[in-house]
Amino acid sequence: MRIPVKKSTSLLGVAALAASLSLTACGGDSGGSDNGNTVTIWSSIDQPVQDGLLKALEAKVGSDIKIDWKKVENINQLIMTKIQAGDTPDIAFIPQPGVVKDMVSLDAIKPLDDVVPQADQDSMIPGTLDAGTVDGKLYGLLVSANVKGLIFYPKKAWEAKGWPTEVASIDELNQLTETIKADGETPWCMGIESDTATGWPATDWFETLVAKYGGVDEYNSWVAGDTKFDSDIVKQAAAEFEQLMFTDGNVLGGREAIASTNFGTAGNPMFDAKPGCWMYNQGSFITGFFPDEIKSDLDANVGVMGFPPATAGGDNPVIGGGDMATLLNDSDNAKKVMAALAATDIGNDAAGSSSFISPHSDFDPANYADETSRSYAKVASESTGFLFDGSDQMPGEVGAGTFWKDMTAWISGQEDLDTALKNIDASWPS
Amino acid sequence: MLGKALTALVTVLIGIGGALAVYYLLNKIAELMPERWEARIKPYLYILPAFLAITLYLIYPAVLTVINSFKDRFSREWVGTENYTELLSSPAFRDTLFNTLLWILIVPAVTVVLGLVVATLADRLQPTGEKLAKTIIFLPMAISMVGAATIWRFVYYAAPAGQEQIGLQNALLGVFGKDPVAWLQQSQFHLNSLLLMVVLLWSQIGFSMVLLSAAVKGVPVDTLEAARIDGASERQIFFRVVVPQIKGTIITVFITVTIGVMKIFDIVYVMTNGNFNTNVLGNEFFNQFATNFNSGAAAAIVVMLMVAVVPIMWYQVRHFKAEEANA
């Protein structure tokens, strides 16, 4: 390492070059513009939904405000990083209420109570405002909703079998499962594999069952962490899940296949010439994953029924999710855009061309492209309460961590139910 | 587009110009000194910018990480050692530690042994055969870890019985009329962790082979001949003549792979994300940081990793110095 001092001139060039490289590396361009009348929006919404919303939004706010709507990967993670880096959009669409809470605790977003017209708040389906409300103030406004706990079936083959297209209670659903099995068929399609998010479809099942058995209050208490996972209500949900999913012959591929089957393709065997399985309980967005020839005529190919209430005619809340608009910058233009997003008719374009479902109860069902979408919207508007996806509301450690992972471990046989439930309870941050 | 290109050009010019100016200035300062001092002080002045860069980009974040590991999830309030005690008292995290230990125990050793076997055997082939064998084994090195993990997911993929098996291993089982096996869920005896390790071995053995092959070829032929004349068997020659002479390279490969394995993340994240009891520290760090938004726990994991890496680094530096002294 002894370098003769005289050679220093050539070294000087090399060193300067190296140093300049490290300097230029810092000179990237930064997003988030404040220039005049542009309002930036970030979201991870499906492209067709975004396109439809943007079209209606541009028509509403006129040409004075320019909308710069960017589709980003995984907004939940990105927005937290960007807030800490101080590089944020004016409006961000957040799918997870837990993240909205975190954003509030970082003082990154503004309350919407005075931004969103009262009439537009009143027209929301009961329960849809709760998820975005923190300490009594509205911070996240549901703009695009999805409905979960929908049982899809292959319409043509199903009707040929003559099985009922409506079940009134969970007991009837169990009976239907037995009927299908007695016919020599496999009743359920099931898959919870979803790359790094493996396990979430199982949590949706649990949320649906807890809501149906326990009702709105019990559900909210569970989501808030007051009712433990290691409790009677969750165990009741688990017992029903176990009966439907773990009983021999109930699920295509058996219990072991559940954790290795992708949620997106799990329902596809329903549409084989001889259906491999007959019912798939998923969210409204799942039709986007169905084979192209099925998607081209959903109404003719796919039947839908809502997951039944615990007892016929009883309390029947529905689980759903969606993207909530949050306001990171309270400039007048950003507020105007926010108010426009809150209007019922913002979804008029998106409803006809995408999987969009309006969270407003006065939304005109004629806007939806097909009967299938109208039936989801009906499930939502006829429910006794719209409950936001529980795992999305729980703290990240639980809702996107142990709840997914321990359900996966239980289903694939690595853990017994008690261990799984206790582990989830233990991971709840104090 | 043109605007961006122009900005880039200006940035580069300012960068180079600025750096030149800094070094020119430092040079001038040094020249102001009396001649005896100029020679003494100049190297330090030249190394100063690099030193500042290391401090800013390496030491400062490291210190900050240690500090944050004693703070809450948003790095605001002090919480003492809570992050550590909470992690270490969770059974899932202890499993994660054990899995990481398995990776550390198995992967570097197997990489070195297999790399050495390939290097030695290929050395005995005809030149064309040797080149071909080495190229094929080295090829996976060119694939990114995420790419490799994605490929191997297809190897292990399992569709429900009765459906078409597009995964290689289950398609093979199907040929023999066996039911598909969900490979990545087989956690008995940590089989699934071993299956993940195969991916890293597949992509890393080329690296070990290239270095060890060069070392094997560097063993002086006269030492081999001397051993043969003395009547040593091939096995004795390998273990008593070749291996001792390439020990330095073996240790270097071993340490490099060990450090790589301690930080392993991509393969586990892509293939299982730590499910089915395959979690490792690197993946747990990412989940704490990016899923749970818990900077405190994430920092605590990194600190544990840093502490675990230090002895290995220390050994490597010592070994490196010893090698230099011998050379």
Arithmetic mean of pLDDT over chain A: 88
The phi and psi torsions of B277 (rounded to 5 degrees) equal 60, 45
Q: Is A195 on the interface with B (CB under 8 A)?
A: yes
- Judge if A280 and A404 occupy the same domain: yes
Exposure letters A189-203 (e unless 16+ CB within 10 A, then b):
bbbbbeebebbbbbb
| B68: its two tokens | 């944050």
**Among B10, B11, B41, B5, residue whose Cα is nearest residue B26:** B41
Contacts of A397 in chain B (CB under 8 A): 292, 294
Task: Give a yes or no: residue A221 inside a domain.
Answer: yes
Spatial CB neighbours of B285, under 8 Å, sequence gap ≥ 6: B265, B298, B301, B302, B305
**Among A119, A138, A120, residue whose Cα is nearest residue A129:** A138
- Judge if A194 and A241 occupy the same domain: yes
Distance between CA atoms of residues A26 and A24, nearest Å = 5
- Judge if A172 and A298 occupy the same domain: yes
pLDDT of residue B327: 65
| B248: its two tokens | 């330095």
Q: Is A341 helix (H, G, I), strand (E, B) or coil?
A: helix
Instruction: Decide if B275 and A21 are in contact by the 8 Å CB cutoff.
Output: no
Q: Is A237 on the interface with B (CB under 8 A)?
A: no
Instruction: Decide if A3 and B43 are in contact by the 8 Å CB cutoff.
Output: yes
Task: Give a yes or no: residue A8 inside a domain.
Answer: no
Residue corresponding to tokens 């939940």? A76
Helical H runs in A68-227? 75-85, 97-105, 118-122, 155-161, 170-182, 200-223
- Judge if A102 and A179 occupy the same domain: no
Instruction: Decide if A15 and B49 are in contact by the 8 Å CB cutoff.
Output: yes
- Judge if A193 and A214 occupy the same domain: yes
Task: Give a yes or no: residue A33 inside a domain.
Answer: no
Residue A127 binned pLDDT confidence (cut-offs 50, 70, 90) = confident
Chain A closest CA to B289's CA: distance in Å? 9
**Confidence check: pLDDT of A9 > 60:** no
pLDDT in tens, A42-65: 999 989 999 999 999 999 998 889
Q: Is A252 on the interface with B (CB under 8 A)?
A: yes
- Judge if A239 and A172 occupy the same domain: yes
pLDDT along chain B (327 residues), means of 10: 87 93 89 85 88 93 95 89 92 93 96 94 90 93 93 93 89 91 91 96 94 93 93 92 92 92 94 93 92 90 93 88 80
| A191: its two tokens | 């898959």
- Judge if A346 and A423 occupy the same domain: no
Q: Is A25 on the interface with B (CB under 8 A)?
A: no
- The minimal CB distance from A8 to the residues B42, B185, B269 is found for B42
A vs B: CB pairs below 8 A: 142
Whole-complex ipTM: 0.80
Distance between CA atoms of residues A402 and A224, nearest Å = 15
Q: Range of A66's domain?
A: 38-146+322-375
Q: Is B269 on the interface with A (CB under 8 A)?
A: yes
- The minimal CB distance from B293 to the residues A102, A260, A412 is found for A102
pLDDT of residue B30: 86
Task: Give a yes or no: residue A5 inside a domain.
Answer: no
What's the length of chain B?
A: 327
- Judge if A100 and A188 occupy the same domain: no
Contacts of A12 in chain B (CB under 8 A): 20, 23-24, 27, 46
Specify the CATH number for the domain of residue A137: 3.40.190.10
Task: Give a yes or no: residue A383 inside a domain.
Answer: no
pLDDT in tens, A14-41: 444 444 444 444 433 334 444 578 999 9
pLDDT of residue A35: 54
- Judge if A44 and A90 occupy the same domain: yes
Instruction: Decide if A269 and B160 are in contact by the 8 Å CB cutoff.
Output: yes
Q: Are A116 and A359 in contact (CB under 8 A)?
A: no
Q: Which of A105-114, A131-140, A394-403, B13-22 has the lowest mean pLDDT?
A: A394-403
- The minimal CB distance from A252 to the residues B50, B74, B160 is found for B160
- Judge if A397 and A288 occupy the same domain: yes
pLDDT in tens, A69-106: 999 988 988 898 899 888 999 999 999 888 898 899 88
Task: Give a yes or no: residue A302 inside a domain.
Answer: yes
pLDDT in tens, A308-357: 999 998 889 999 999 999 999 989 999 999 999 999 999 999 998 888 99
Query: Could you tell me which chain A residue has the CA closest to the CA of B266?
Result: A196
Q: How many domains does chain A have?
A: 2
- Mean pLDDT over residues A298-307, rounded? 94
Question: To 10 degrees, the CA torsion angle through B175, B180, B182, B187?
Answer: -90
Task: Give a yes or no: residue A382 inside a domain.
Answer: no
- Judge if A137 and A115 occupy the same domain: yes
The sign of the CA dihedral A7, A10, A12, A15 is negative
Q: Of all helices (H) and strands (E), which one includes residue A371?
A: helix A371-381
Name the DSSP letter for residue A429.
Answer: -
- The minimal CB distance from A22 to the residues B42, B53, B274 is found for B53
- Judge if A370 and A244 occupy the same domain: no
SS (H, E, C) chain B: CHHHHHHHHHHHHHHHHHHHHHHHHHHHHHHHCCHHHHHHHHHHHHHHHHHHHHHHHHHHHHHHHHHHCCECCCCCCECCCHHHHHHHHCHHHHHHHHHHHHHHHHHHHHHHHHHHHHHHHHHCCCHHHHHHHHHHHHHHHHCCHHHHHHHHHHHHCCCCCCCCCCCHHHHHHHHCCCCCCCHHHCCHHHHHHHHHHHHHHHHHHHHHHHHHHHHHHCCCHHHHHHHHHCCCCHHHHHHHHHHHHCHHHHHHHHHHHHHHHHCCCHHHHHHCCCCCCCCCHHHHHHHHHHHCCCHHHHHHHHHHHHHHHHHHHHHHHHHHHHHHHHC
Task: Give a yes or no: residue A2 inside a domain.
Answer: no
Q: Which of A5-9, A99-103, A312-316, A381-385 has the lowest mean pLDDT?
A: A5-9
pLDDT in tens, A234-263: 999 999 999 999 999 999 999 989 999 999
